[in-house]
Amino acid sequence: MPPPLKARYGNGSMTDNKRTTPLLDIAAHTSHDHEQIDPFLYPPWRRTDKSFGDRVHIQPSDHKPKGSESEEETDAATRHTTQVEELTESQSNLIVYSDGSLMKKSGFARVGASVVVYHKGSEVATMKMGMGGRVEVYDAEMAGLMMGVKIAVDYARSHAQIKHLHFYTDNSAAIKAIFDPKPRSGQHYVSTFYTTIVKFLDDDPNHQLSISWCPGHADILGNKRADELAKEANDLLWAAPISTTRANAVRRLKMASQKAWVKQWKSKPKLGAFAISNCIQPTLKPTKRFLDTPRETFGRLIQCRTGHAYTGEYRRRFHPDKDEDCPCGEAYQTREHILRDCKHHNKHRIHLLRISRDIFLPTILGTVAPRSGRVMQYLVLLQWTSNAVFSVITIPPANHLASARPHL
């Protein structure tokens, strides 16, 4: 089904043709070789993998290490090798491995993509492509799948016994995206793959497609061969249809933003209650501590580090007429008092003493992982309450404490 007609604005007069917007002005300065994403390339009612029923199987990685990651990788590689050996026994299966590679050459990034095709256990076709230095590995993985589908479909048409195409790559993101030509990074490669494979499936109701993940660098013959070809492609001249991809532009923009943010953070003086804790360089990515810590516990840590908590010190800023003393008898309840001196929390203070013998606040509050786990272990045993005190609560189960301090 053809895509919907693009919207037309104005009546086509000379005045209308001269109209522009700031966004169009910026776009006019971009190169035609840069990646262009068309929001109207396919209609929302396009066919998806579900439209073909059990003829299309898309299986990204479900690899979730429970023990030793190397053991999990070895098991996955063994299962994959066994599966491929079974597929090789039938002449109706065509097996395709693709890969992308990024390497530094004399200080400059070079990216290459490759594909290798097997039939009945024999290598029947290969292809590699140099992609230049303004693309990402993700783009190379998509390009490899695009090259693979072209070679595989052509080979299958000249060998009528082939009914099932099996694609393998070690990039789950590429597997999830390659059959869905949404307006996003890699749309050109996805569109070519989608158009080619849909026609292949429509040619014969017995034609099938499988796109699966395989572990990389696990001595799998096809993946190892594709990796070698991709590295060789790094030395090739640029031959890709796109010189600068959206993924690469976004990454460079993030790097520039990160650099500017860190520069500003280093140059400005640290002020306010958070100054004593503001010792960790800012980053655009969430830290492992943030991802692995229960939300309630991490919230207490942030309250403690910023000073925005239920303490007499903080309450005084908004309600100077209210009580600001500590239940232990201290006349003025501060963050420092709760962490260092409050007798109500003496039995839990051992966690802070393991970080700093004198509980020096810049060390306690400005520490980085794994030491921040000790601070959280202390805070998880306390509860910020509405009457401006830390009250000791029941010690959580061991498994809860373990999730609150993964690097201790």
Summarised one tens digit per residue, pLDDT across range 162-192 is: 999 999 999 999 999 999 999 999 999 999 9
Residue 84 sits in a domain of what CATH number?
3.30.420.10
pLDDT at 399: 41
Same domain, 228 and 319: no
pLDDT at 9: 53
* 138 belongs to a structural domain: yes
Predicted confidence (pLDDT) at residue 195 exceeds the cutoff of 80? yes
Enclosing domain of residue 194:
51-62+74-248
* 363 belongs to a structural domain: yes
* 262 belongs to a structural domain: no
pTM: 0.75
Same domain, 193 and 292: no
Same domain, 185 and 315: no
Number of domains in the chain: 2
Report CA 222 to chain centroid distance, whole Å: 26
Query: Tens of pLDDT along 379-389?
Result: 655 543 333 33
Mean per-residue pLDDT for 368-380? 55
* 40 belongs to a structural domain: no
Instruction: Measure the CA angle with vertex 345, ends 341 and 350; round to 5°.
Output: 85
pLDDT at 401: 35
Torsion of CA 265, 269, 275, 276, to 10 degrees: 100
Predicted confidence (pLDDT) at residue 2 exceeds the cutoff of 70? no
Same domain, 91 and 188: yes
pLDDT at 387: 37
pLDDT at 359: 83
Query: Tens of pLDDT along 290-302?
Result: 888 888 888 888 8
Same domain, 340 and 206: no
The CA distances from residue 401 to 364, 385, 395, 408, in Å, are 19, 20, 9, 11
